[in-house]
Amino acid sequence: MLWRYVKAQLMVLLCGGLVGPIFLAIFFATGQDPLMKWMFWAGLLVTAIDVLVALALASYGAKRAARTEMLESSGVVALAQITNIHETNTRINEQPLVKLDLRIEGPGLTPFTAQDSVVASISRLPMITGRKLVALVDPATNTFQIDWNRSGLINGLVPAQFTLAEDNRTYDLSGQVGPLMEIMQILKANGVPMNGMIDIRSNPAVRQQVMSVVRRAAAQQAPPAQMPTPAATAPAPAGGFGAPPVSVSQRLQELETLRATGAITESEYASKRQEILADL
């Protein structure tokens, strides 16, 4: 807690809180000149405010850390589907603050809806527009917290590769929501932390469960055998190679990204969205 307060106090000082100590230093350096008495009281007031703000920030950080630790130890790994994104017309550090409508469901949970306000930073935008996040949920109270590291896995932003020595093969499940959620729930239930590369060779029971999920997912994603297309009926590309058409869902997702970052106005968003939907 002490180190957390020291960091908070340094941050407050760097963000303009040095004014109070500077006023006090000038007052005492000038021999406590009566004409400079206002600097003493102003400096004392600003310094007291600095200390109170730092204490509040340290307390908030400690409570948030305790909440995260509690959810990591006893919470449920759940899938949070974004059903709607609302602008708040607020920016934090030049990044938009958005409000998300969520539908959360997971093992042992009765599906419920909730709202959360998040900063739509550049790293988070693909996850937000992808409409799927991972949340840690307290099953007793439905208190939840979005886990951005795990969310990166199911959105394909973080590679999810599994090497099985028995198969002499590496399986890539990046962005596969169902299998990855199941694997994360297995690891969570067995107290295996998700911090970079995970080695579960020393835990045969967990390894066996994960291997089963990986192999099943790999079998399901294997492309079905296709009948060869006769050369006479095979469609010929017009004029060489062409870019694949962009789907309506991709166009809507890109439009949501532009709206969330404030690159387009609300009227431009509505007009463009109507134009895309008219192409259906």
Quick: pLDDT tens for 83-137.
Answer: 999 988 898 888 899 999 999 999 889 999 999 999 998 888 899 999 999 999 9
Instruction: Output the DSSP codes for 233-254.
Output: TSPPPTTS--PPPPPHHHHHHH
Helix, strand, coil % over all residues of the chain, rounded to 5: 50, 20, 30
Average pLDDT over residues 4-24: 67
Among the ranges given (102-111, 158-167, 270-279), the one the predictor scored with the smallest mean pLDDT: 270-279
Average pLDDT, whole number, for the chain? 79
Separation CA 162–CA 140 (nearest Å)? 33
Q: What's the confidence (pLDDT) of residue 137? A: 93
Phi, psi of 45, rounded to the nearest 5 degrees: -65, -50
DSSP 3-state of 126:
helix
pLDDT at 231 > cutoff 50: no
Tell me how far the alpha carbon of residue 36 is from its chain's centroid.
Answer: 50
Predicted confidence band of residue 234 (pLDDT cuts 50, 70, 90): very low
The H or E element containing residue 25 is helix 19-29
Residue 279 corresponds to which tokens in the numbers above?
A: 């192409």
pLDDT at 259 > cutoff 50: yes
pLDDT digits (tens, 9 = 90+) for 36-86: 888 888 878 888 887 887 777 777 677 777 777 888 888 899 999 999 999
- Strand 76-92 to 132-137 pairing: antiparallel
